[in-house]
C-alpha cells in the first residue's frame, strides 16, 4: 500500500440519502479541493475547519453540485494528513461523479480501512482505537456502541500500555540481576518478582473476564426455537418480528429448514432461529431439516423449548429439557388463549425422581401476542446470568476476539514464568518468557504487530473509513 498517495472515497453509506460525503486525504487533498470547489460569495479563500457553500465542478469546469466543502490541514486531522471533504446531495450517481472528479485530479481510490490505517500509522490512534472504529459502526446494541466508544477513547489501550510498562520494568530489573549476579537478592528478590508477575496476570484475567461477560452485548446472542411440531415455533417468531416471516399452517412439519432473523429482546440483540419440529420422520427432506435444526439448537446461547398448550408438558419435553440443560433453556407454554397452564407446570422431576426443580419459564399466546414482553425479559435475564448477570459498566475496557487471543497468550507466558521462578530457573532464561508476554501485549496496541495481521484487520473495514 502506497501511504504517500492522495486517496479519495465516498465516506457515507451506500444508497440514496439527504447528504453524502466524499473524503480526500493526502498531500494533494487541499490543492484538489481548490481545483474542484468554487466557493460562493466574494471571499474565495477557504478557511480551515469551516464549511463553505459553493459549486463542485469536474476538471473541465462542468458543475456537478451545489454543496458544502471543508478544508482540514494536517496533522490534527483524523488521518494526520491534509483532509478535504465534499458534503454533497446524497444521490449515488452524484456522489460517484464527485469521486470520479477527485480521481481525475490525481487521487486514487482508497482501499478498505485506509483512512483509519493512516490514522494508526501516523500516530493519531493505537491499534485498539483503530479497531474500535469498525466495532462502533458494527455495534448491534447501544451497550456495544458504548463499549466501542470507550475503546475509541483509548481506555483499553491505556490499560494494555500500563500492563506492558510493568513488564518492561521487570525486564529492566531482570537485566540488572543477570549483569550483576552478586547483587541478585537486592536487585530482584524472588518473592517480589513473583508478586509483580502475579499482579500483571490478574490484570490480564480481569480484561479477559470482561470479554466473556460482554459478548452478548458486542455480538448478540443466538436464540433457538425448539420443540415438537405444531407447538407454535414459527408463530412465535412471526410474533416477535411483527410480520409473517415463517410459514404457518395447521399441518405438522411445515418448517423443514431453519430460518434466521435479527431481533432485540428486551434491548438485547439476538439472532432468532426457527427450527424444524422434532419428531421421528421417514421424509428425507424433513429429516435433514431436523438434523440442521438440532445443530443450531446445540450451538444456541438460549433455547426456547416450546410446549403446546393443547397437549401440555410431555415426556419428550422433559427429556429435551434434561438434554439441553436448564441453565440455557426457557420452557414456553404457548397457546395460552386456548389452554391455561396448570399450577407448577414448569417444575420437572430430576432423572432420579428424587426431587423437582423449576425451569425458567414463560406463558405466551403467539397468536395474540400475549406474554411476549415477559418472555423477552426472561431470555435477557437468562443470557445475562450466564455472563455474570450485569450490563457493561460505563467506560469499561473490553477486548475483542483478536485482542483476547493476544491477552491469553501473554497470560500463558506469565503463568509459565511463575513456574520457572518457583523452580529456580536462571533469570537469563526467565527473560525469554517475559519478553514473549511483553510482545503479545505490544501486538494488541500495534507496537509490534505483523503486517499480515494489520492487513486482516483493516480489510474488514468499509471503503471510506
pLDDT digits (tens, 9 = 90+) for 89-139: 999 999 999 999 999 999 999 999 999 999 999 999 999 999 999 999 888
Among all chains, which residue has been given the C-alpha cell 477486548? 399
pTM of the model: 0.79
| Residue of 209, 208, 207, 211 whose CA lies nearest to 158 | 207
Cβ-in-10-Å burial (0-12, 13-18, 19+) of 126 comes to buried
Structural domains present in the chain: 7-124 (3.30.1360.120), 131-214+397-446 (1.20.120.430), 218-385 (3.40.50.300)
Rounded to whole angstroms, the Cα distance separating 133 from 136 reads 5
Task: Check whether 248 has a pLDDT greater than 50.
Answer: no
Identify the band that residue 254 occupies on the pLDDT scale cut at 50, 70 and 90: very low
Is-contact 397 156, C-beta < 8 A? yes
- Local confidence band at 283 (pLDDT 50, 70, 90 cut-offs): low
Cα 2 to its chain centre, rounded Å, is 29
247 has a pLDDT exceeding 70 = no
Stretch among 45-49, 79-83, 284-288 having the lowest mean pLDDT: 284-288
CA distances from 380 to 197, 300, 375, 387 (A): 38, 14, 9, 11
pLDDT (0 to 100) of residue 279: 53
CA 410, 411, 412, 414 torsion-angle sign: positive
Residue-wise pLDDT for 340-385, tens only, equals 888 888 886 655 555 556 678 999 998 888 999 999 999 998 888 8
Task: From residue 228, give the alpha-carbon distance in Å to each of 77, 133, 275, 293, 301.
Answer: 59, 44, 10, 12, 20
Higher per-residue confidence, 236 vs 21: 21
Percent of the chain with pLDDT strictly greater than 70: 87
Q: Where is 268: in which H helix or E strand?
A: strand 268-274
Q: What's the rounded Cα separation, in Å, for the pair 456 and 465?
A: 15
Cα separation, 414 vs 432, in Å, equals 11
Q: 247-256, 339-348, 396-405 — which one is most confidently predicted on average?
A: 396-405
pLDDT band at 81 (very low <50, low <70, confident <90, very high): very high
What pLDDT is recorded for position 244?
66
Residues 113, 83: contact at Cβ < 8 Å? no
Q: How many residues does the chain have?
A: 465
Q: How confident is the model at residue 252 (pLDDT cuts 50, 70, 90)?
A: very low
Backbone angles phi, psi at 150, to 5 degrees: -65, -40
**Is residue 183 scored above 70 in pLDDT?**
no
Whether residue 452 has pLDDT greater than 50: yes
Residue 87, preceding peptide bond in cis (omega within 30° of 0): no
For residue 445, what pLDDT band results from cuts at 50, 70 and 90? very high
Please tell me the predicted confidence (pLDDT) of residue 358: 64
Name the range with the highest mean pLDDT among 150-159, 170-179, 276-285, 449-458. 150-159
pLDDT value at residue 76: 93
CA 414 to chain centre: 28
Q: Provide the pLDDT for residue 200.
A: 95
pLDDT, mean over the chain? 86
pLDDT digits (tens, 9 = 90+) for 12-31: 988 888 999 999 999 999 99
pLDDT of 394 above 70: yes
Amino acid at each position: 500500500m502506497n501511504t504517500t498517495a492522495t486517496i479519495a472515497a465516498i465516506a457515507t453509506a451506500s444508497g440514496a440519502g439527504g447528504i453524502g460525503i466524499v473524503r480526500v486525504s493526502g498531500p494533494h487533498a487541499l490543492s484538489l479541493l481548490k481545483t474542484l470547489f468554487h466557493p460562493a460569495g466574494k471571499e474565495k479563500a477557504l478557511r480551515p475547519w469551516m464549511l463553505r457553500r459553493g459549486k463542485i465542478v469536474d476538471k473541465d469546469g462542468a458543475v456537478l453540485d451545489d454543496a458544502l466543502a471543508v478544508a482540514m490541514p494536517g496533522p490534527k486531522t483524523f488521518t494526520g494528513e491534509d483532509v478535504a471533504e465534499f458534503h454533497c446531495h446524497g444521490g449515488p450517481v452524484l456522489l460517484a461523479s464527485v469521486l470520479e472528479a477527485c480521481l481525475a485530479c490525481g487521487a486514487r481510490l482508497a482501499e478498505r480501512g485506509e483512512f483509519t490505517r493512516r490514522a494508526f500509522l501516523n500516530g493519531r490512534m493505537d491499534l485498539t482505537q483503530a479497531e474500535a472504529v469498525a466495532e462502533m459502526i458494527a455495534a448491534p446494541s447501544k451497550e456495544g456502541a458504548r463499549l466501542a466508544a470507550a475503546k475509541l477513547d483509548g481506555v483499553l489501550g491505556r490499560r494494555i500500555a500500563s500492563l506492558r510498562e510493568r513488564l518492561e520494568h521487570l525486564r529492566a530489573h531482570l537485566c540488572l540481576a543477570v549483569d550483576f549476579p552478586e547483587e541478585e537478592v537486592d536487585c530482584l528478590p524472588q518473592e517480589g518478582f513473583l508478586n509483580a508477575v502475579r499482579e500483571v496476570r490478574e490484570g490480564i484475567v480481569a480484561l479477559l473476564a470482561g470479554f466473556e461477560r460482554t459478548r452478548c452485548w458486542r455480538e448478540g446472542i443466538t436464540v433457538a426455537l425448539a420443540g415438537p411440531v405444531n407447538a407454535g415455533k414459527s408463530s412465535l417468531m412471526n410474533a416477535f418480528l411483527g410480520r409473517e416471516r415463517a410459514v404457518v399452517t395447521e399441518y405438522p412439519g411445515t418448517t423443514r429448514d431453519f430460518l434466521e432473523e435479527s431481533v432485540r429482546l428486551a434491548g438485547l440483540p439476538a439472532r432468532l432461529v426457527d427450527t424444524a419440529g422434532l419428531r421421528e420422520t421417514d421424509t428425507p427432506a424433513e429429516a435433514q431439516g431436523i438434523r440442521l435444526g438440532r445443530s443450531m439448537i446445540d450451538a444456541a446461547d438460549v433455547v426456547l423449548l416450546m410446549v403446546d398448550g393443547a397437549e401440555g408438558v410431555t415426556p419428550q419435553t422433559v427429556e429435551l429439557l434434561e438434554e439441553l440443560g436448564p441453565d440455557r433453556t426457557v420452557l414456553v407454554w404457548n397457546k395460552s388463549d386456548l389452554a391455561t397452564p396448570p399450577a407448577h407446570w414448569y417444575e420437572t422431576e430430576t432423572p432420579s425422581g428424587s426431587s423437582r426443580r423449576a425451569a425458567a419459564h414463560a406463558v405466551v399466546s403467539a397468536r395474540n401476542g400475549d406474554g411476549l414482553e415477559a418472555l423477552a425479559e426472561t431470555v435477557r435475564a437468562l443470557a445475562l446470568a450466564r455472563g455474570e448477570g450485569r450490563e457493561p459498566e460505563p467506560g469499561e475496557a473490553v477486548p475483542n476476539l483478536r485482542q483476547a487471543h493476544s491477552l491469553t497468550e501473554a497470560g500463558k507466558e506469565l503463568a509459565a514464568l511463575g513456574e520457572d521462578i518457583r523452580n529456580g530457573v536462571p533469570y537469563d532464561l526467565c527473560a525469554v518468557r517475559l519478553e514473549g508476554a511483553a510482545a503479545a501485549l505490544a501486538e494488541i496496541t500495534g507496537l509490534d504487530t505483523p503486517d499480515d495481521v494489520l492487513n486482516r484487520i483493516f480489510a474488514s473495514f468499509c471503503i471510506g473509513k
